[in-house]
Amino acid sequence: MQITVLAGGVGGSRFVRGVREECARRLPDGGAEASLRQAQDSAVTVVVNTGDDLWLAGLRLMPDFDSLLYSLAGVNDTERGWGRAGETERVSAELREWGVGWPWFTLGDLDLGTHLARTAWLHEGATPSDVAHRLQRRWPLGVQLIPATDTEVDTHVLVADPDELGGEREMHFQEWWTRYRATLPAIAFRQRNIEQARPAPGVVEAIVGADLVLVAPSNPVVSIGTILDVPGIREALAETSAPVIGVSPIIGGKVVRGMADACLAAIGVETSAEAVGRHYGARAHGGLLDAWLVDEADAAALPALEGIGLTAASAPLWMRDPDTSAALAGAAIDLGRALARPAPHPEGAA
């Protein structure tokens, strides 16, 4: 079974680990050959958001890719949700002394190893897709990570200028997110070069050829929205015969992690599971989703969601550990199976 997941970084990492775990558990021989068989049969491909990416201190950073890479490799800092476990910050302290980079944005020593390797390869002519392939070869992740696009589509945020009344200022998403913690009301999100961007190699095939497409409970605006804005990706999602199943990143009117509420407010979408489901829209009416999975706390929204053409279901969405993450992935996979168009009858038309 070919599963393709659209994902951002932090929320996406937990969900993708759940998908990987659940696929391994569903293989007939369960654990033993899981990693081998998984690589062959039920391949999981993750289309990763690249809107968070930036050049800093002369290095190319790809935060969402790195969060997924480190998390799936089991070398991530589980407290912070980003960066490496057991990190030190000696170089970062020196960069601060030199006034290089951003003093509010920590580049850990191990993490810098990734950024230096990536930047070195890019300077040798590798594409971000080549770099993604090389980085994930180091650890057997059990899934394949591919960037949404090889074009630099860094997200910038237009805000009311914090230093000049009535002024407006555009800043990189990462400054808005890490320096201002998304507290400056965002007027608009813009992605550099998005018109020229094209899906990275393998992205369209992974979507059109999938048996199931899952939209991770990532930030609907700056993680999922930025993937969808890459020309060609929405078209592939409309074309695929695979059911497209989304998982709500909002539970009981609150974001699970991060500051998606600040992003949703900026585009006039209420912070609720129902509103995000409506925002993504039903595929039957030109939207993204066939089905929308909400937490049991939001089950009251199911009739309204069905009313706009979505198949709606509720399940426990809190991912606290591998079991709850796998259970959530399983609920999404089962919803997709229920919607999958039955294969043509073997005897052909009667």
Residue written as token pair 């951003």: 102
Please tell me whether residue 38 binds ligand FO1 under the rule CB under 6 A: no
Q: What CA–CA distance (Å, rounded) separates 155 from 51?
A: 5
The residue from 15, 177, 189, 280 that contacts ligand FO1 (CB under 6 A) is 177
Please give the structure tokens belonging to residue 102.
């951003």
The residue from 2, 127, 129, 178 that contacts ligand FO1 (CB under 6 A) is 178
Annotate 47-88 with DSSP letters as a single string. EE--TT-EEETTEEE-HHHHHHHHHHHT-B-TTTSSSBTT--
**Nearer Cβ to ligand FO1 (15/177):** 177
**Nearer Cβ to ligand FO1 (82/280):** 82
Please tell me whether residue 49 binds ligand FO1 under the rule CB under 6 A: no
Please tell me whether residue 10 binds ligand FO1 under the rule CB under 6 A: yes
What three-state secondary structure class fits 263?
helix
Count interface residues toward ligand FO1 (CB under 6 A): 18
**Nearer Cβ to ligand FO1 (52/290):** 52
Output the 3-class SS for 124-161. Answer: CCCCHHHHHHHHHCCCCCCCEEEECECCCCCEEEEEEC
- Minimum CB–partner distance for residue 51 and ligand FO1 (Å): 9
Question: Which range binds ligand FO1 by CB under 6 A, 100-108, 135-143, 199-207, 277-285?
Answer: 100-108
Q: Name residues contacting ligand FO1, limited to 111-150 (CB under 6 A).
A: 111
Please give the structure tokens belonging to residue 63.
């935060």
**Nearer Cβ to ligand FO1 (119/178):** 178
315: Cβ–Cβ under 8 A, 6 or more apart, which residues?
293, 295, 296, 327, 328, 331
Please tell me whether residue 76 binds ligand FO1 under the rule CB under 6 A: no
Residue written as token pair 């890459």: 230
Please tell me whether residue 70 binds ligand FO1 under the rule CB under 6 A: no
Please tell me whether residue 63 binds ligand FO1 under the rule CB under 6 A: yes
Please give the structure tokens belonging to residue 138.
């180091």
Binding site for ligand FO1 (CB under 6 A): 9-10, 52, 61, 63-64, 66-67, 82-83, 105-107, 111, 174, 177-178, 258
